[in-house]
Amino acid sequence: MSAPLPVVLPRRPLGRTGLDVTVLGFGAAPLGNLFSHLDEATSVAAVVAAFDGGINLLDMAPHYGNGLAELRAGEALRQVLQHRSRDSIVVSTKVGRWFDPMPTGRAAALAPDVGHAEVASPGFVGALPHRAVLDYSYDGTLRSIEQSLLRTGLDRLDIVLIHDVDVWTHGPDAIEARFSEAMKGAYRALSRLRDEGVVRAIGVGLNESEMCERFAHAGDFDTMLLAGRYSLLEQPALGSFLPLALQKNIAVMLGGVFNSGILATGAVAGARYDYQPAPAAVMARVAAIDAVCALHSVRLADAALQFALGHPAVTTLVLGAVTPNEVRRNIASLAAPIPPQLWRDLRTEGLLPAAVPTPKGPA
């Protein structure tokens, strides 16, 4: 049986790479059992539904479930590529961790000079039983890419991002060493692979706009995936990083536009913000935003999604989903009507900065 014809979603150029990506991408973090155990068949069906719905970008990371997300994404890609060319899709993954399937101790013996340490995976409740090895070295980067290709069954990757070189992950005492390691190791490896045409685009995937800005000044990057720091709830990237990205023609991919869920669920009991239960101040601000949306009969999630696409530096939103219905709902959200008065009212209430760009209409 042939697959459904994809919806024609808007596309934007990924900086200067020659790649065009849909304004919505599929983020594979939930496939690594983020917050809850996900049925195998459902996880694969969610990825297939994304491509069947017109999305052409899949973003993964070895970190998501210690390789589990990449394994599940690989199974979905095998189904998708039965009726679609490899050139019609854009696959992104990340480096900074590789995984040791052998007993503890072997990983350190293989690379004793890198100063490896294990970092917790907040939110992941199930994963492959492999030991994560933090490694931003040149050789560690190549090993990570090789493992990603094996897990997915692919022979090439389109985008490769240096993952989690930020204070949130490593702490203030270790960040300088990690940044130096990443620039001397991972960046050199990825730059070489880009020069050789092995990958089309290189960048970083981080939780902090300040670190994105620092990398943008330090190297020649094509794209950056920033999670959670430019959303309807908060816009710390607005002042300097996003203008710098425009200046340098760095395509910005946004993750976490629902801030780990609260902008999708609203300020309900158990709502999450940055992978944790939302604090009272965040709950109150989201409730106030939601109240303005309600006055205009607009779903909070629709406003959050369309707002994030309103900045000219933003190329695509990488959204996680756990079921085909969630994927279809995200796609439908692009076309939800939102009156311009909503954005004006949010500014009037002090819930958006006066200078923040807002959408002129559906993406």
Cβ neighbours for 97, distance < 8 A, ≥ 6 positions apart: 62, 63, 132, 133, 134, 135, 144, 163
Residue 119 lies in a domain: yes
Indicate which CATH number applies to the domain containing 94.
Answer: 3.20.20.100
- Residue identified by tokens 């939800």 is 336
pLDDT at 313: 98
Query: How far apart (Å, rounded) are the C-alpha atoms in residues 198 and 329?
Result: 35
Query: How far apart (Å, rounded) are the C-alpha atoms in residues 59 and 258?
Result: 17
| DSSP-assigned states of every residue in 243-286 | HHHHHHTPEEEEE-TTGGGHHHH-S-TT-EETTEEPPHHHHHHH
Measured from the Cβ of residue 118, the count of other Cβ atoms closer than 10 Å reads: 12
94 is catalytic: yes
Query: How far apart (Å, rounded) are the C-alpha atoms in residues 251 and 270?
Result: 34
Q: Cα 108 vs. chain centroid, distance in angstroms?
A: 29
275 is catalytic: no
Catalytic residue among 20, 39, 52, 59: 59
Q: With residue 5 as reference, give the H or E element that holds it.
A: none
Residue 5 lies in a domain: no
Residue 48 amino acid letter: V
pLDDT at 105: 54
The answer to whether the CB of 271 falls within 8 A of the CB of 286 is: yes
Strands 276-277 and 272-273 come out as: antiparallel
Query: How far apart (Å, rounded) are the C-alpha atoms in residues 307 and 19?
Result: 24
Full residue range of the structural domain in which residue 262 is found? 11-266+301-337
Residue 176 lies in a domain: yes
Query: How far apart (Å, rounded) are the C-alpha atoms in residues 111 and 144?
Result: 13
Query: How far apart (Å, rounded) are the C-alpha atoms in residues 203 and 24?
Result: 18
pTM of the model: 0.92
Judged on CB neighbours under 10 Å (0-12, 13-18, 19+), 77 is buried
Residue 285 lies in a domain: no
Beta-bridge partners for 161? 94, 203
Query: How far apart (Å, rounded) are the C-alpha atoms in residues 305 and 331?
Result: 10
Residue 306 lies in a domain: yes
Query: How far apart (Å, rounded) are the C-alpha atoms in residues 309 and 242?
Result: 12
Q: How many domains does the chain have?
A: 1
Catalytic residue among 52, 94, 166, 222: 94
pLDDT at 37: 84
The answer to whether the CB of 82 falls within 8 A of the CB of 131 is: no
Residue 48 lies in a domain: yes
Residue 188 lies in a domain: yes
Largest CA distance in the chain: 61
Beta strands in 8-56 (DSSP E): 11-13, 20-22, 24-27
pLDDT at 122: 60
Task: Pick the closest to residue 87 from 19, 148, 188 (CA basis).
Answer: 19
136 is catalytic: no
Which parts of the chain have pLDDT scores under 50?
Answer: 1-2, 107-120
Residue 121 lies in a domain: yes
